[in-house]
Structures are given as C-alpha cells and as structure tokens.
C-alpha cells in the first residue's frame, strides 16, 4: 500500500476488515448496554424489595423453569411478582406471571377460579370455599403455615415477618375449607 496507494484489492480488503471491526464493536457496545440495563433493573427491584421490607432468599443452584421475574412499575411504584398457587389435594398448580402487590388474595383467586378448573369436577375450589396459606420459615429453617384471608393485600403477605420470597417467586397453598381427612392429614404435616 505504501508503494501503491491506489491498489484496489488492498483497499477492498482493508474496507472488509474495518467493516467487520465496526460490526463487532457495535455488537459489543449493544451487549454492554443490555447488561447495564439488566444491572440497573436488578438494583431498582432490590431497592424496592428492601424499601418494603420484603425478605428474600435464593436456593443455591436454583434455575427457574419459567421466564417470569419480579417487575417494578416505576411510575406507580408497584411490584408484580410471579406467584404459584398450589393445590396439593390434586397435585395441580397455577403460575400467575405478575401478581400486583396491591391486589388482594381474593381478587387473584376470583380470576383463577372464574371458570372451574378441569381437575375440580366437584367445584370445591371457589374463592369463598377455599383456605389459602403461605409457608413460613423461622430462623431455624422450620417450615410452618400461615392462613391468609381473602381481603388481605399481597403486599401484606410479602412484608409479613415470617414470609420469605424465595427465588423471586411467591407461593400460596390453596385447600378446600371443608374438613376432610385429607386436609387433616395434610395440615398435620405442618404441625397444625
């Protein structure tokens, strides 16, 4: 090139190298920006959880099998949390992708049970005919149950001193109100 500045094949090769360098640099910068946004979002959510006094824990090695995560609506300053509703009597569950902290347990159950579940042919599962619990965990790691009323806001549960938001996922256990042997046996597992 020094000897022949008009050498077109060399100029073409330099242009290809520069274009490839620019393409890779653009990809690197875009990746860096995406990672920065993810870090900022994580910090905002951690701050919102801390501000509300929501205790969290992570299970070592846990990898969620769902793509949902805690979200923060900055404008409204409201969290939505992916939440499992578990129905142990039937070995069934529902995953609510975004349970708003300002909604009540009853509102969410009314949505879930708007139509009878296919696994509930007896229609025992309706907001007014079920009891809802969340698992508690004391400092010694002992697991217990806490009953939740229909009019209780999700945020009240999240901030309860015995509640732990484990792996970014809330969990509620729903059983029929009626006393059955199954329910008695199930409650006995929790020392109730």
Between 155 and 181, the higher pLDDT residue: 155
Q: Is the residue at 40 inside a domain?
A: no
Q: Is the residue at 33 inside a domain?
A: no
Cα angle at 101 between 146 and 88, to 5 degrees?
A: 40
For residue 27, CA distances in Å to 1, 16, 19, 22 come to: 30, 17, 12, 9
Q: Is the residue at 121 inside a domain?
A: yes
Distance of alpha carbon 89 from alpha carbon 119, whole angstroms: 10
Cα angle at 151 between 146 and 154, to 5 degrees?
A: 65
What is the model's pTM?
A: 0.79
Which residues, at least 6 apart from 94, have a Cβ–Cβ distance to it below 8 Å? 84, 85, 112
Domain membership of residue 94 as a residue range: 56-188
Calculate the CA 116 to chain-centre distance.
Answer: 25
Distance of alpha carbon 104 from alpha carbon 76, whole angstroms: 17
Query: 135: which DSSP letter?
Result: E
Structural domain tally of the chain?
1
Tens of pLDDT, residue by residue over 127-159, are 999 999 998 877 777 788 999 999 999 999 999
Residue 3: the pLDDT is: 62
Q: Is the residue at 49 inside a domain?
A: no
Q: Is the residue at 177 inside a domain?
A: yes
Tens of pLDDT, residue by residue over 77-119, are 999 999 999 999 899 999 999 999 999 999 999 999 998 889 9
Cα angle at 142 between 48 and 146, to 5 degrees?
A: 65
Residue 115, domain CATH: 3.10.20.90
Q: Is the residue at 106 inside a domain?
A: yes
Q: Is the residue at 32 inside a domain?
A: no
DSSP 3-state of 45: helix
């Amino acid at each position: 090139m020094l000897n022949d500045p008009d050498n077109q094949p060399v100029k073409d090769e330099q242009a290809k190298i520069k274009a490839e360098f620019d393409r890779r640099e653009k990809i690197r910068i875009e990746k860096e920006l995406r990672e920065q946004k993810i870090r900022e979002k994580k910090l905002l959510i951690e701050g919102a959880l801390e501000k509300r006094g929501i205790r969290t824990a992570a299970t070592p090695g846990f990898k969620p099998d769902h793509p949902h995560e805690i979200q923060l609506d900055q404008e409204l300053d409201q969290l939505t949390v992916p939440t499992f509703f578990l129905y142990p009597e039937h070995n069934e569950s529902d995953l609510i992708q975004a349970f708003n902290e300002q909604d009540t347990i009853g509102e969410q159950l009314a949505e879930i049970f708007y139509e009878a579940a296919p696994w509930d042919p007896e229609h025992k599962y309706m907001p007014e005919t079920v009891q809802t619990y969340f698992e508690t965990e004391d400092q010694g790691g002992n697991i217990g149950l806490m009953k939740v009323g229909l009019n209780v806001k999700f945020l009240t549960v999240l901030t309860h001193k015995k509640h732990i938001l484990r792996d970014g996922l809330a969990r509620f256990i729903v059983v029929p109100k009626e006393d059955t042997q199954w329910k008695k046996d199930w409650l006995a597992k929790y020392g109730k």
